[in-house]
Amino acid sequence: MFTDLLHSSYFSLFLIVALGFMLGRIKIRGLSLDVSAVIFIALLFGHFGVVIPKELGNFGLVLFIFTIGIQAGPGFFDSFRSKGKTLILITMLIICSACLTAVGLKYAFDIDTPSVVGLIAGALTSTPGLAVAIDSTHSPLASIAYGIAYPFGVIGVILFVKLLPKIMRVDLDKEARRLEIERRGQFPELTTCIYRVTNANVFNRSLVQINARAMTGAVISRLKHNDEISIPTAHTVLHEGDYIQAVGSKESLDQLAVLVGEREEGELPLDKTQEIESLLLTKKDMINKQLGDLNLQKNFGCTVTRVRRSGIDLS
């Protein structure tokens, strides 16, 4: 019965994927094949004569290229602008060295051209390259050679990534923590504080008049005046004894204390008509727009206190 199921291409396909994911989760001394294990299972099934229709193969290739595009596409042009020359040189070096090695081995061991093309695609673990090799050579030898070279390409990369830091005596976890600290150090941590307005210089003056945002860098998110809590605007006037709540870095909050008055503990509660929400930016029309251009306070009566980008909160 199981043999009959293996002759079903759909059953075989999902079985290959399932077994591949199971094998990829197995770790030996911290090393695992991850999703690359799927192709090893596929090679094993192919050895025993299991055939997957070409249409399914083409569909899988389309999905593969699409997902790679989704993953790499958003940052492609930024990386190209900043490190384009370096990446092009590295790419050309890898491809040229692989081609020269393959051509040299072709004449040294009298290997046929379809096999050489498949070996190059497999050694570079390039699945789109395999599709081009099959279409250009019209020979099954290209896929066979690809299957032979691919495991060495994958295992070689895994071993290189694991062994190189040990050879160079580099602690990757320590380096990752150091880089994360450096990255976050460029953007001070944001906190929230409340203040009691006691500085006579700001009494009966609006936020735009005292230029609080530009002077301190803090964002004033709430104001309490005569037991009434509101969301302040640029034209909101401060009075003696008012309470304001602000978001910003330690330095900006210290500067705000000098500007308006005493810092106090606690947090201003929300009014029944107010709430705090976190929104994910997905509308393409809003990308690359400045917050000032959106005029959110006038249009929607809301204040943006922080922007979270790449795991970092920006004031």
Summarize the confidence of residues 162-183 as an average pLDDT. Answer: 81
What is d(CA 263, CA 193) in angstroms, rounded to the nearest whole number? 7
Q: Where are the extended beta strands (E) located within the chain?
A: 191-197, 205-206, 219-225, 228-230, 237-238, 243-248, 261-264, 307-309, 312-314
pLDDT in tens, 11-61: 777 888 888 888 888 887 767 777 777 877 887 887 777 777 777 777 877
- Report the pLDDT value the prediction gives residue 6, as an integer from 0 to 100: 60
Q: Reply yes or no on whether the pLDDT at 1 is more than 70.
A: no
Number of other residues whose CB lies within 10 A of the CB of residue 64: 13
Distances (CA, A) of 102 to 95, 123, 133, 145: 11, 10, 14, 12
- Report the pLDDT value the prediction gives residue 93, as an integer from 0 to 100: 92
* CATH number 3.40.50.1370 is the correct assignment for the domain at 189-314: no
pLDDT in tens, 58-97: 787 788 888 888 877 777 777 777 777 888 899 899 888 8
> C-alpha 57: how far from its chain's center?
28
Instruction: Name the amino acid, one letter, at 4.
Output: D
What is d(CA 229, CA 193) in angstroms, rounded to the nearest whole number? 15
List the domain boundaries for the chain: 57-148, 189-314
- Report the pLDDT value the prediction gives residue 5, as an integer from 0 to 100: 61
Distances (CA, A) of 40 to 61, 131, 225, 275: 16, 18, 69, 53
